[in-house]
Amino acid sequence: TCVTGKRTFRIGVLGSGKGSDFVAIADACVAGSVPAQVAVVLSDVPEAGILSRARERNIPAHFLPPGKFRTKLEEEAERNYIEALRAAKVDLVVLAGFMRVLKDAFLGTFAGRIVNIHPSLLPSFPGLAAWEQALAHGVRVTGCTVHFVDAGVDSGPIIGQQTVPVLDDDTAETLHQRIQAAEHALYPKCVAAIARGEVAIRGRRVVWRAF
């Protein structure tokens, strides 16, 4: 584990699925290319792959019940997520396929400290199945975007983007696979920059500062 300043930069990860973006970040932390450690992994799905992949790496991983809503956390559940992240003393909350919209209490607690990755070049194709949207629109280039999270849907300040060409014989599955490969390169790079203090938000824009 690399150390920034006097203490290790700590990441909390939220995910609902297999956790491939989490794996890319966690393994980059171990390799030293991301100067941080994953302190905790939380999921709203009890059998989510991300939990088992975290436990394989000896990272604390917990299922926290989301409550009765389908697309957001119930108020009490949101408090439980906040407390778990606070208890782990996280500096940054990383969303890795977390399929719930975060509301005001969560956004306020971790203002400017929540990041997400989206499988398109935002602001194009926000929302679900962005690779299918890209195919349906006939674009020749798509990609992925790492951004800070705000109250909108995939609307926060953009940290980094990586392009992926759309090939003539692409299916939704093949395009999604190549976008995910780009995600696994881009997400650790952006998290590393944040951990090093190289990223600052100025209004709607994110500025990278090299020291």
Catalytic residue positions? 118
Helices (H) and strands (E) in the chain, counts: 6, 9
Q: What secondary structure letter does DSSP report for 190? A: H
Distances (CA, A) of 47 to 18, 80, 183, 190: 10, 19, 23, 28
Instruction: Please name which of 30, 90, 33 lies closest in space to residue 57, comparing C-alpha atoms.
Output: 30
Q: Tell me the C-alpha distance between 171 and 92, whole Å.
A: 35
List 141's β-bridge partners, or say none: 165
3-class DSSP state for residue 6?
Answer: coil
3-class DSSP state for residue 199?
Answer: strand
SS (H, E, C) 130-170: HHHHHHHHCCCEEEEEEEECCCCCCCCCEEEEEEEECCCCC
